[in-house]
Amino acid sequence: MHSVLCFTELLSLFISLIGYICCIVALFIPNWLTFSSGLLVNESYLIGLWQTCVIQNIGSSVCQNFGSLLDLPLQIQMGRVLVCLSLSSGTLGFLMSTPAITCVKCLDDSEYYIRRIFIIFGGVLFTLAGALIFSYVSYFAYDSLTKFWDMNIPKDVPRWEYGDAMFFAWAGGFLLLSGGIVLIASQIYLTDELKEPPPIGISPNNSSTEYV
How many beta carbons lie within 10 A of that of residue 14, not counting itself?
12
Taking alpha carbons only, the member of 94, 103, 101 closest to residue 122 is 94
Rounded Cα–Cα distance for residues 177 and 133 (Å):
10
Query: How many Å apart are CA 148 and CA 203, to the nearest integer?
Result: 70
- What is residue 144's three-state secondary structure? helix
Query: 42 with 188: CB under 8 angstroms?
Result: no
pLDDT value at residue 134: 92
**Is 181 within a domain?**
yes
Using CA atoms, how far residue 85 sits from 32, 48, 152, in Å, is 18, 17, 36
- Each residue's pLDDT expressed in tens, for the chain with a length of 212 residues: 577 888 888 999 999 999 999 999 999 988 888 876 655 556 788 888 888 888 776 667 788 887 777 677 888 888 889 999 999 999 999 999 888 887 776 655 556 778 888 899 999 999 999 999 999 999 988 888 887 766 666 565 556 778 889 999 999 999 999 999 999 998 887 655 555 444 455 444 554 444 44
The CATH number of residue 85's host domain is 1.20.140.150
Residue type at 131? A
Is-contact 27 88, C-beta < 8 A? Answer: no
Hey, is 165 helix, strand or coil? helix
Residue span of the structural domain in which 94 resides: 2-31+70-194
Residue 86 lies in a domain: yes
Residue 191 has a pLDDT of 56
Position 167: which residue type? F
What is the pLDDT at residue 136?
A: 92
Decide if 49 is inside a domain. Answer: no
Answer whether residue 46 is part of any domain: no
pLDDT of residue 209: 47
pTM equals: 0.80
The answer to the question of residue 42 being in a domain is no
d(CA 38, CA 143): 23
Q: Is 113 exposed, middle or buried (0-12, 13-18, 19+ CB in 10 A)?
A: exposed
**Cβ proximity of 46 and 31 under 8 Å:** yes
Residue 39 lies inside a defined structural domain of this protein: no
The count of domains in the chain is 1
Residue 44, CA atoms < 13 Å, CB-side half-sphere? 17
Position 192 scores a pLDDT of: 57
Asked whether residue 201 is assigned to any structural domain, the reply reads: no
In a domain, 47, yes or no: no
